[in-house]
Structure 1
């Protein structure tokens, strides 16, 4: 995930999830399993309506929407996202390096299951993509590498929403705002120290 901080907004880009890559061992109410999202599953999901972008999967904290400030597409790697967020809390968290990564919620519509060495494997072939989220340090313990939790059944009989998050090691933050204001980091003068000392001695 790359975070580019501007004067009055923050641009967040990166992959929400990679396709055709086996997850770590996940767990839900039925037990342990690994999972792969098949190529094309996200593309098909994106053809069905538009999704909102939330902070920490909180329905009360909508920070974006497809067609406005959020772009989503599936490419050869996976689900790629680009968002320009003007929410003050998100900008502040970006400046404080508190944003941790992307996550998404989905309901599987079509999946196949297999078993190897006693471990169940699920291949998600089609899904309902319910939302994408930016998560901060509050959810980090639940999202160590690739994790899963399932929302409690609301009694409606519908399939519960599941959540997935990517690893967080690849977060990069840049600050366009500082460059615009002329606040540059001090240059590395180590190679000029000899010359500086000679000039001081004159």
Structure 2
């Protein structure tokens, strides 16, 4: 299974109507954006994910959210306390964290900007390689997604996540909707073009 890690930005806090635990959300992957990947042998190539790459996995897999790719640190399961969907930007997630010590620690670390990356683990089912004088390029076309992860190790700089609530009765941060639109506008020029 391959793992890819992304930068989390723009941590925010908003009300959680249940009053239990925190709600976090953002993008675990962004479409049509190249990033540099270094394999285990030290070779580098540019990689991007195309829209629709997660479609089949989202329909068929029971996907987990983990902390730091650790299967003993489960935060959520798709369709239980996590929603996952593709949109124009990428793979969007929202997690209603359970009221556990791990969740409380994680939401505090995220709110303070200490843990600020996101990752996913998937098997590559379909991809395309292009070898040019400017470098090697890999297009991920279909991914068998198994997990998304909150982690302190960055790789893809284009994704984001946020703490949307911590303890019930905290005010909504209205800046998130503005920032979300900025993210969509920034990356929409690459949608369906495959530009670098």
TM-score normalized with structure 1 length: 0.66
User: Take 2:57 and 2:86, find their aligned partners in 1: how far apart are those partners?
Assistant: 10
Q: Secondary structure at the match of 1:47?
A: helix
Which residue of 2 is the match for residue 60 of structure 1?
72
Q: Secondary structure at the match of 2:79?
A: coil
Contact 1:10 1:84 in 2 (8 A): yes
Offset from partner CA, 1:124-169 (integer Å, 9 cap, x none): 111111101112xxx33xx2x42xxxxxxxxxxxxxxxxxxx557x
Which residue of 2 is the match for residue 93 of structure 1?
106
CA separation of 1:88/1:41 partners in 2, compared to 1, >3 Å: closer, same or farther? Answer: same
User: Take 2:124 and 2:77, find their aligned partners in 1: how far apart are those partners?
Assistant: 22
Map of 1:65-80 to 2, 5 A cutoff?
65-80=77-92
Aligned residues: 154
Which residue of 1 is the match for residue 53 of structure 2?
41
CA separation of 1:11/1:130 partners in 2, compared to 1, >3 Å: closer, same or farther? Answer: same
Q: Which has the larger radius of gyration?
A: 1
Shift of 1:94: 1.9
User: Take 1:3 and 1:179, find their aligned partners in 2: how far apart are those partners?
Assistant: 14
Greater RCO (CA < 8 Å, at least 6 residues apart): 2
Q: 1:111 and 2:124 equivalent?
A: no
User: Take 1:81 and 1:172, find their aligned partners in 2: how far apart are those partners?
Assistant: 10
Q: 1:4 and 2:13 equivalent?
A: yes
Offset from partner CA, 1:32-77 (integer Å, 9 cap, x none): 1010111110122212221011111001111110111010000111
Shift of 1:104: 0.4
**RMSD of the TM alignment (CA)?**
2.5
Q: 1:132 and 2:141 equivalent?
A: no
Q: Secondary structure at the match of 1:92?
A: helix
